[in-house]
């Protein structure tokens, strides 16, 4: 039962719960009218202390398409946080108004703190460079629909593996399915954090390698997960400028990829996928964004105990 629980980390859901959620999301995608009134009378609160397009708006659209209503703020400056209110007091207050809360925050662990003071389910919509579990559900739904399975895949993660929270969450999740191989492609300065290498990959005996050159490995991939260099996490603009165009996926590089490889990206993109690639049938990142709404509809239904 997911009713009343928080979602802070992809591993808060068992594999069985994750698979059930994806199945429900698939059914909502096929028959949305069946679900269109199930959240009548319910309210979702979006507490966004950092910018967002996909996560916030897909959660809001998800609740509205389930017949519910939405309240919230899209920047801290328009809430009483700007007057110095704590996360604990904010969520205690929001718990009086809404049935479920979705929080994005620049500080790692902020949604966890909120969950400790909340009487309603709290969903982590991205905390600093840490985790982004609902993006992972979106990614898993896309992979399952295009590859038919979440096992036996060779997945390349390319770009900012240090600060990219979507990468950390998806690796955590994929490491629970059988026989997945991970290829980490990044410049030296943007390598995966040690806790993911040790506590997730090594601890779960996941086969993985770390390389700098995408062209060396692109031909072996079932999935290429491109990421943006996370400008907002850099302390020094010079470093960002030096690293921001480390990888640009273009037609030339895609000639070396398999015909069946799919390209994912959590978006937003900056320069790392050339616009010419959007026409390539292997580009799946806008389908991925679309699935985000359906998977969040499924999550809302489960956490509210409606299904």
Contacts with ligand CP, residue ranges (CB under 6 A): 52-55, 126, 135, 266-268
How near is the Cβ of 132 to ligand CP at its closest, in Å? 6
For residues 72 and 217, which CB has a smaller minimum distance to ligand CP in the complex? 72
Cβ 55 to ligand CP shortest distance, Å: 3
Instruction: Give min distance, CB of 179 to ligand CP, in A.
Output: 27
DSSP 66-125: TT-EEEEESSGGGSGGGGT--HHHHHHHHHHH-SEEEEEESSTTHHHHHHHH-SS-EEEE
Dihedral (CA of 35, 41, 46, 47) sign: negative
Q: Which is nearer to ligand CP, 123 or 217 (CB)?
A: 123
267 annotated as belonging to a binding site for a ligand: yes
Measured distance CA(271)–CA(273) in Å, rounded:
6
Assign 135 to helix, strand or coil.
helix
54 is in an annotated binding site: yes
- Report in angstroms how near the CB of residue 128 gets to ligand CP at its nearest: 13
* Residue 193 annotated as lining a ligand binding site: no
Other residues' Cβ atoms within 10 Å of the Cβ of residue 199: 12
Q: Which residue has the tokens 């390598």?
A: 191
Question: Min. distance of Cβ 66 from ligand CP in angstroms?
Answer: 19
Residue 56 assigned ligand-binding role? no
Q: Is the Cβ of residue 53 or residue 80 nearer to ligand CP in the bound state?
A: 53
Could you list the beta-strand ranges (E) of the chain. Answer: 43-48, 69-73, 100-105, 122-127, 154-158, 181-185, 207-211, 223-226, 262-264
Closest CB to ligand CP among residues 52, 95: 52
- In angstroms, give the least distance from the CB of 114 to ligand CP: 18
Q: Is 11 known as a binding-site position? A: no
CB atoms within 10 A of CB 261: 20
Residue placing its CB nearer to ligand CP in the complex, 42 or 54: 54
Q: Please tell me whether residue 127 adopts helix, strand or coil conformation.
A: strand
Kindly compute the dihedral angle of the four CA atoms of residues 118, 57, 124, 6, in this order, to the nearest 10 degrees: 50
* 136 is annotated as contributing to ligand binding: no
Q: Is 176 annotated as a binding residue?
A: no
In terms of CB distance, is 121 or 266 closer to ligand CP? 266
**Nearest distance in Å: CB 143, ligand CP:** 15
Tell how strand 43-48 and strand 69-73 pair up.
parallel
Distances (CA, A) of 204 to 144, 175, 180, 249: 21, 7, 11, 30
Is 165 annotated in a binding site? The answer is yes
Nearer to ligand CP among residue 68 and residue 133 (C-beta):
133
Binding residues: 54-55, 83, 104, 132, 135, 165, 228, 267-268
Binding residues for L-aspartate: 83, 165, 228
């Amino acid at each position: 039962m997911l009713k009343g629980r928080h979602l802070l980390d992809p591993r808060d859901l068992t594999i069985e719960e994750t698979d059930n959620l994806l199945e429900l999301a698939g059914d909502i995608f096929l028959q949305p009218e069946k679900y269109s009134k199930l959240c009548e009378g319910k309210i979702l609160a979006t507490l966004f202390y950092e910018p967002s397009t996909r996560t916030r708006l897909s959660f809001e659209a998800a609740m509205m398409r389930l017949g519910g209503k939405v309240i919230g703020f899209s920047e801290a400056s328009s809430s009483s946080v700007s007057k110095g209110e704590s996360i604990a007091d904010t969520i205690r207050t929001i718990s009086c108004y809404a049935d479920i809360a979705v929080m994005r925050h620049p500080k790692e662990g902020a949604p966890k703190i909120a969950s400790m003071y909340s009487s309603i389910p709290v969903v982590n919509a991205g905390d600093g460079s840490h985790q982004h579990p609902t993006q992972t559900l979106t990614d898993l739904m896309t992979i399952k629909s295009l590859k038919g399975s979440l096992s036996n895949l060779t997945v390349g993660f390319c770009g900012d593996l240090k600060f990219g929270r979507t990468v950390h969450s998806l690796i955590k999740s994929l490491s629970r399915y059988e026989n997945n191989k991970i290829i980490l492609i990044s410049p030296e300065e943007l390598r995966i954090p040690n806790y993911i290498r040790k506590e997730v990959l090594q601890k779960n005996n996941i086969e993985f390698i770390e390389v700098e050159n995408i062209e060396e490995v692109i031909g072996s991939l079932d999935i290429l997960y491109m990421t943006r260099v996370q400008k907002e996490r850099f302390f020094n603009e010079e470093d960002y400028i030096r690293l921001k165009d480390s990888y640009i996926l273009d037609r030339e590089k895609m000639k070396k990829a398999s015909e069946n490889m799919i390209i994912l990206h959590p978006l937003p993109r900056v320069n790392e996928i050339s616009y010419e690639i959007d026409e390539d049938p292997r580009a799946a990142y806008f389908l991925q964004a679309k699935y985000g709404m359906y998977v969040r509809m499924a999550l809302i239904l489960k956490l509210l105990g409606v299904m």
